[in-house]
């Protein structure tokens, strides 16, 4: 194969799985500011069944931010209840022993939903193509062959320190055996499972022909989203550390014919002697069964793939579910896996090359965390990278990616170790003196794990973007001003009423992902003079040339594209007019979605936003929400110097001097004598 002159790109992404597709979608929002992005995947076709399928509440909130939650809800299968089935202590017969809600009620507006990985990837890629006007689309049948980093260039932000050579594969090469499925339409996931070593998987892409040509790509940044066998990770010499357990599981996605009564519920089934099954109701009337297999492997060894036939996996499931019957009219997909719990000690090098998703953490799939965590990795990384690569933020900002996500990955591994052991162990019997699984403990771990599993237990530590306690020289929040919005945790929604239209809206629908920080201004009851003055003073600051909004917004961008102030007051809506609010920082008729009120709506009840967030109507607060919707800072309305200090830690003043509010023409209020009341 011949090579050609190098091409240049700002961000190269290797791998179009969930992590890579999320990276592509988030970065696509920066292409209108000149960012170029390429996504390479070695496979010729996208995934169309099997693999991961569980979306937790936090991921669904992110999809709401990205704007396609409605399609996911329409296509997916929502899960509401978990049923536990265990052997009757007297007879050993399988009985239902407990029911719990699948997602903790009240935790989020979205409950765990099942939709297969291929559809998730497709939604993210469709959105990326739409937001980038067709510029960000995956380039398939592209296999990277070498990676070189010129360390002398890594501190020059305009340089391209990364050289990647990528081979354009022939169709035969990029379409490994097993992908197309057998005559009955059953597809196998074995060729991409943990049963293969990295070398065996790699060989699949080299066995069928030869590449057409090799391209040299020079990149400023690179994200390795290339899964558990990550080629990028191996080029960087970063090791996966951890254990491989001896537990072996099979998976069947099928249309079941059964008299097991809870087949459309998520179930955890522990039989007395035949192992365990987890039941996951899927979309399109399919049901996924995770089945513990009676296959023995020693630590460090791989099980023989030929044992993992759909018939064998189904027969094992029948034994666990006995005396209930289990037949099928169609098996859609099957696979097998070892449970490995591994984590890299680094998520990248030089703040130029990053690893995300399975490339830096692997664990068992049953807790439904891999795809969610992988997408949430690049959700965290890419707003930072987008801001740094477009010259808005300092390079130090991307360092917080590994600081924040490595902790989450470690928590995930710890959780999974506990969860898998309890799931894979044999139930302890009354006369059993060995270390069998206590089924009460199993349920307790499940219940406790629900908060973690929903993606809601993340609390990012103090850093330049998390102003919690002011440790490490950072900024200290006045947390008591919004007592129920912990800094470092995800910002959650409350209903508010739009001042301009009287329509009830969820606040999170007003802050979709655009890469902007949001300043949520809660001034209190602005009919009271003290609150009105506080807001007027804040507006004066925001409009002035030294404010965080003016200083960091280049004058060729829309004024609210970097830091977006949104006001939620609690005065009586009908006693105040939009034109009573200061222009342009609080209200300006170019955007009517900037002033809201916390009061009962006509049709959807009362959101009680101040109460929900623990904000006093007398004191008020400013809540800084990061672009990924985590609370970054809580301060008072007078604390403009704290706002300055917070943003100065990681933002770069606009090169053109910024965009003061005084440059925005004010709109004259209407002639009130002509307005009928």
Q: Which of 40, 247, 401, 419 binds ligand FAD (CB under 6 A)?
A: 40
In sign, the C-alpha dihedral spanning 621, 626, 627, 630 is negative
Taking only Cα atoms into account, the Rg of the chain, rounded to an integer number of angstroms, comes to 27
Give the Cβ contact number of residue 396 at 10 Å: 15
Q: Is 108 in the site for ligand FAD (CB under 6 A)?
A: no
Cβ neighbours of residue 212 closer than 8 Å, sequence gap 6 or more: 1, 168, 169, 170
How many angstroms from the chain centroid is the CA of residue 391?
Answer: 24
Q: Is 371 in the site for ligand FAD (CB under 6 A)?
A: yes
Segment interacting with ligand FAD, rule: CB under 6 A, options 235-243, 355-363, 530-538, 579-587:
355-363
Cβ neighbours of residue 159 closer than 8 Å, sequence gap 6 or more: 150, 153, 220
Segment interacting with ligand FAD, rule: CB under 6 A, options 149-157, 356-364, 539-547, 576-584:
356-364
Which residue number, 452 or 646, has a Cβ lying nearer to ligand FAD?
Answer: 452
Helical ranges in 356-438 per DSSP H: 370-389, 396-424
Cβ neighbours of residue 546 closer than 8 Å, sequence gap 6 or more: 644
Burial class (CB in 10 A: 0-12, 13-18, 19+), 333: buried
Q: Is 51 in the site for ligand FAD (CB under 6 A)?
A: yes
- Applying the rule CB under 6 A, the residues between 243 and 272 that interact with ligand FAD are 251
List C-alpha distances in Å: 608 to 156, 239, 485, 507, 615. 49, 49, 14, 12, 10
Q: Is 623 in the site for ligand FAD (CB under 6 A)?
A: no
Shortest reach from residue 399's CB to ligand FAD, in Å: 21
Q: Is 452 in the site for ligand FAD (CB under 6 A)?
A: no
| In contact, 220 and 36? CB cutoff 8 Å | no
Q: Is 335 in the site for ligand FAD (CB under 6 A)?
A: yes
Q: Is 77 in the site for ligand FAD (CB under 6 A)?
A: no
Long-range contact pairs involving 34-37 (C-beta distance under 8 Å, separation at least 24): 34/390, 35/10, 35/11, 35/386, 35/389, 35/390, 36/8, 36/9, 36/10, 36/11, 36/135, 37/9, 37/10, 37/11, 37/12, 37/13, 37/132, 37/135, 37/136
Q: Which of 358, 404, 525, 628 binds ligand FAD (CB under 6 A)?
A: 358
Segment interacting with ligand FAD, rule: CB under 6 A, options 301-309, 352-360, 486-494, 531-539:
352-360
> Length of the chain, please?
677
Which residue number, 59 or 514, has a Cβ lying nearer to ligand FAD?
Answer: 59
Which residue number, 23 or 466, has a Cβ lying nearer to ligand FAD?
Answer: 23
Q: Which of 26, 52, 248, 609 binds ligand FAD (CB under 6 A)?
A: 52
| In contact, 66 and 128? CB cutoff 8 Å | no
Which residue number, 263 or 578, has a Cβ lying nearer to ligand FAD?
Answer: 263
Which residue number, 173 or 462, has a Cβ lying nearer to ligand FAD?
Answer: 173
Q: Is 658 in the site for ligand FAD (CB under 6 A)?
A: no
Q: Which of 13, 72, 94, 143 binds ligand FAD (CB under 6 A)?
A: 143
Segment interacting with ligand FAD, rule: CB under 6 A, options 270-278, 371-379, 466-474, 486-494:
371-379
Q: Token pair of 12, please?
A: 């190269």
Which residue number, 211 or 227, has a Cβ lying nearer to ligand FAD?
Answer: 227
Is cis: bond before 36, omega within 30 of 0?
no
Q: Is 365 in the site for ligand FAD (CB under 6 A)?
A: yes
Segment interacting with ligand FAD, rule: CB under 6 A, options 80-88, 222-230, 402-410, 420-428:
222-230
Q: Which of 10, 53, 525, 628 binds ligand FAD (CB under 6 A)?
A: 53
Segment interacting with ligand FAD, rule: CB under 6 A, options 35-43, 262-270, 432-440, 527-535:
35-43
How far, in Å, CA of 599 to CA of 416, rounded?
43
List C-alpha distances in Å: 637 to 75, 280, 303, 485. 43, 48, 62, 16
Shortest reach from residue 334's CB to ligand FAD, in Å: 9
Task: Report the C-alpha dihedral over residues 140, 145, 148, 154, rounded to 10 degrees.
Answer: 10
Segment interacting with ligand FAD, rule: CB under 6 A, options 51-59, 423-431, 462-470, 480-488:
51-59
Shortest reach from residue 68's CB to ligand FAD, in Å: 18
Q: Is 368 in the site for ligand FAD (CB under 6 A)?
A: yes
Shortest reach from residue 420's CB to ligand FAD, in Å: 13
Which residue number, 349 or 664, has a Cβ lying nearer to ligand FAD?
Answer: 349
Shortest reach from residue 12's CB to ligand FAD, in Å: 11
Q: Is 372 in the site for ligand FAD (CB under 6 A)?
A: yes
Shortest reach from residue 122's CB to ligand FAD, in Å: 12
How far, in Å, CA of 68 to CA of 619, rounded?
37
Q: Which of 357, 427, 449, 584 binds ligand FAD (CB under 6 A)?
A: 357
Q: Is 19 in the site for ligand FAD (CB under 6 A)?
A: yes
Nearest to 561 by CA among 442, 408, 386, 418: 386
| In contact, 80 and 141? CB cutoff 8 Å | no
Q: Is 369 in the site for ligand FAD (CB under 6 A)?
A: yes
- Give the three-class secondary structure for 78: strand
Segment interacting with ligand FAD, rule: CB under 6 A, options 233-241, 361-369, 573-581, 665-673:
361-369
Q: Which of 77, 83, 341, 374 binds ligand FAD (CB under 6 A)?
A: 374
Helical ranges in 104-154 per DSSP H: 117-131
| In contact, 310 and 252? CB cutoff 8 Å | yes
Q: Is 54 in the site for ligand FAD (CB under 6 A)?
A: yes
Give the Cβ contact number of residue 235 at 10 Å: 18
Which residue number, 45 or 527, has a Cβ lying nearer to ligand FAD?
Answer: 45
Nearest to 167 by CA among 217, 230, 229: 217
Nearest to 59 by CA among 46, 49, 73: 73
Residues that bind ligand FAD (CB under 6 A): 14-20, 40-43, 51-54, 117, 143-144, 225-227, 231, 251, 335, 337, 357-359, 365, 368-372, 374
């Amino acid at each position: 194969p011949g090579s050609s002159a190098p091409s240049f790109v700002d961000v190269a992404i290797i791998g179009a799985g969930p992590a890579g597709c999320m990276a592509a979608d988030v970065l696509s929002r920066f292409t209108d500011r000149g960012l170029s992005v390429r996504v390479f995947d070695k496979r010729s076709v996208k995934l169309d069944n099997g693999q991961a399928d569980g979306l937790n509440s936090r991921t669904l909130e992110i999809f709401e931010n990205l704007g396609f939650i409605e399609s996911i809800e329409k296509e997916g299968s929502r899960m509401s209840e978990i049923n536990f089935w265990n052997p009757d202590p007297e007879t050993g017969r399988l009985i239902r022993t407990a029911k719990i809600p699948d997602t903790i009620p009240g935790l989020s507006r979205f409950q765990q939903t099942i939709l297969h990985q291929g559809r998730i990837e497709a939604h993210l890629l469709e959105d990326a193509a739409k937001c980038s006007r067709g510029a960000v689309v995956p380039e398939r049948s592209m296999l990277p062959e070498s990676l070189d980093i010129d360390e002398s260039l890594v501190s020059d932000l305009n340089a391209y320190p990364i050289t990647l050579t990528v081979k354009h594969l022939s169709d035969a090469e990029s379409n490994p055996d097993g992908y197309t499925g057998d005559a009955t339409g059953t597809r196998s996931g074995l060729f991409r499972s943990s049963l293969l070593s990295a070398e065996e998987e790699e060989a699949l892409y080299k066995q069928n022909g030869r590449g057409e040509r090799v391209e040299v790509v020079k990149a400023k940044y690179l994200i390795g989203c290339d899964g558990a066998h990550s080629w990028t990770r191996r080029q960087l010499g970063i090791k996966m550390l951890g254990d491989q357990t001896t537990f072996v599981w099979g998976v069947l996605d099928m249309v079941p014919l059964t008299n097991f009564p809870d087949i459309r519920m998520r179930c955890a089934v522990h039989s007395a002697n035949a192992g365990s099954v987890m039941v996951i109701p899927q979309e399109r009337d399919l049901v996924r069964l995770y089945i513990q297999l009676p296959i023995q492997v020693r630590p460090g060894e791989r099980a023989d793939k030929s044992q993992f036939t759909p018939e064998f996996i189904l027969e094992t499931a029948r034994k666990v579910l006995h005396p209930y019957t289990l037949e099928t009219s169609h098996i859609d997909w099957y696979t097998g896996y070892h449970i490995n719990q591994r984590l890299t000690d680094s998520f990248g090098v030089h703040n130029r090359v990053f690893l995300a998703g399975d490339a830096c953490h692997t664990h068992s799939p049953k807790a439904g965390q891999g795809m969610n965590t992988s997408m949430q990795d690049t959700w965290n990384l890419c707003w930072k990278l987008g801001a740094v690569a477009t010259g808005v933020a300092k390079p130090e900002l991307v360092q917080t990616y590994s600081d924040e996500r490595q902790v989450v990955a470690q928590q995930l591994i710890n959780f999974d170790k506990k969860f898998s052991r309890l799931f894979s162990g044999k139930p302890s019997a009354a006369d059993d003196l060995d270390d069998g699984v206590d089924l009460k403990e199993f349920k307790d771990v499940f219940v406790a794990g629900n908060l973690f599993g929903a993606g809601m237990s993340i609390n990012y530590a103090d850093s330049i973007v998390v102003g919690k306690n002011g440790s490490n020289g950072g900024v200290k929040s006045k947390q008591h001003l919004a007592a129920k919005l912990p800094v470092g945790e995800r910002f959650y929604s409350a209903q508010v009423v739009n001042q301009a239209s009287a329509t009830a809206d969820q606040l999170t629908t007003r802050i979709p992902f655009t890469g902007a920080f949001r300043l949520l201004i809660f001034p209190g009851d602005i009919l009271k003079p003290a609150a009105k003055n506080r807001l007027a003073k804040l507006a004066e600051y925001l409009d002035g040339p030294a404010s965080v909004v003016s200083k960091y917004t280049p004058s060729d961008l829309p004024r609210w594209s970097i830091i977006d102030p949104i006001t939620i007051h609690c005065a009586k809506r009908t006693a105040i007019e939009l034109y009573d609010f200061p222009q342009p920082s609080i209200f300006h008729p170019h955007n009517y979605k900037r002033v809201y009120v916390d009061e009962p709506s006509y049709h959807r009840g009362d959101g009680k936003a101040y109460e929900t967030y623990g904000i006093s109507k007398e004191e008020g607060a400013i809540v800084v929400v990061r672009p990924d919707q985590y609370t970054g800072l809580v301060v008072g309305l007078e604390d403009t110097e704290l706002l300055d200090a917070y943003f100065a830690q990681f933002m770069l003043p606009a090169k053109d001097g910024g965009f003061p509010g005084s440059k925005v023409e004010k709109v004259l209020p209407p002639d009130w004598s002509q307005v009928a009341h």
